[in-house]
Amino acid sequence: MPYESWLPALLPHFKEGFSNALQELLQEKNLCQSVSINLNFIKTWAFESDEASGQDFYQNRKDQPAAGEKDQNVGAQVLNANWYPEGCAPTGEAQPIPGSRALRVASYSFPLPPIKWSCEECLERSVFKADLPRCRFVAGKDHDDEQSLLLSYECQACRGWRVRFFVSRKGEKLELSGRDAIAMQPVPRSVPAAVAHYFSEAQVAHRSGLSLAAFLLLREFIEQFWRSLPEMQEALSWSSQMTAIEVGECYATQLPLEFKAEYPSLTDCHNWLSNSILEPSLYRDRFEYCLRDVVEHLDGRRFRRLSTYREFEEARAV
Ligand SMILES: [Zn+2]
């Protein structure tokens, strides 16, 4: 199939693929982690176009490349182009010439996706959009499919908070090489400030792929939360040798029965985390479940006004 025919058909899929991969990378990944651009549409397209032209997709004839080879060639040609964000055109780069096969210097654009990110001004997760005048594209010197992106995103709710990302691309892989708000992770309002750093660091560890550290930090958060509550101080004063399990049981006995029936148990989360620590790579997904249950539990306490934590903290500070 001639170049003029397949390029218009494939470009929208490439644009969508770049945009979706970048959104996943910026929202979900941490430093040094990467995502792959989904190129499955090339196989679908090759299958459909061969079917339409009456060719047997699986038949390997001498005068035509095999289907798999054709897929690779098509994908590589388009990937080898400069892929710059819309509004950040590379200067001095050659543009694609219709009908030309000189694709090594071709440049194509893709839309920068909006992302959900935590805003320190709004104190919640909000929509951030790219601030195009402050975004840059740099093409690689030696390899056509290597490039760098410096992206500035702005909170759309307050327009006062920004986060900047440094993204490296090599072929179909996008890697998060830098971010200027690395330490910040969303901490719900129901998490007491005195122990919030354990909660935040657990999320940083999880998003960095450090499962063991993430489990340990979230478990430590639960234990420190129990030990910091005013209603636990009397029991803790009786014995300085209470184990975490005993502290958890003591905490649970003080909760109203209807609360325990409605909200997840911190003791259960503590047990799951302890078990997960033994095989962190096997139970990586369990972190998200435990984190969700912990937040639901704490939100429940806040909603039911169970905690006298604020008053306790203020009294202790005097
Ligand atoms: Zn904001």
Q: What separation in Å is there between the alpha carbon of 165 and the centre of ligand 1?
A: 17
Average pLDDT on 144-153 reads 89
Average pLDDT on 264-293 reads 90
Q: What separation in Å is there between the alpha carbon of 173 and the centre of ligand 1?
A: 30
State yes or no: pLDDT of 287 exceeds 50: yes
Q: For residue 60, what pLDDT is reported?
A: 44
Question: Phi first, then psi: what are they for 316, rounded to 5°?
Answer: -70, -30
Q: What separation in Å is there between the alpha carbon of 19 and the centre of ligand 1?
A: 23
Q: What separation in Å is there between the alpha carbon of 30 and the centre of ligand 1?
A: 21
Average pLDDT on 141-148 reads 79
Q: For residue 118, what pLDDT is reported?
A: 79
**Residue 216: enclosing H or E segment and its boundaries?**
helix 211-228
State yes or no: pLDDT of 88 exceeds 70: yes
Q: What separation in Å is there between the alpha carbon of 179 and the centre of ligand 1?
A: 17
Q: For residue 61, what pLDDT is reported?
A: 44
Q: What separation in Å is there between the alpha carbon of 28 and the centre of ligand 1?
A: 19
Q: For residue 231, what pLDDT is reported?
A: 86
Cα separation, 20 vs 34, whole angstroms = 13
Q: What residues are paired with 147 via a beta bridge?
A: 139, 169
110 touches 169 (CB < 8 A): no
28-84 pLDDT, tens digit per residue, is 887 788 999 988 887 777 666 655 555 544 444 444 555 555 555 667 778 888 889
Q: What separation in Å is there between the alpha carbon of 74 and the centre of ligand 1?
A: 42
Average pLDDT on 197-216 reads 86
Q: What separation in Å is there between the alpha carbon of 160 and the centre of ligand 1?
A: 6
Average pLDDT on 253-281 reads 92
Q: What separation in Å is there between the alpha carbon of 290 and the centre of ligand 1?
A: 28
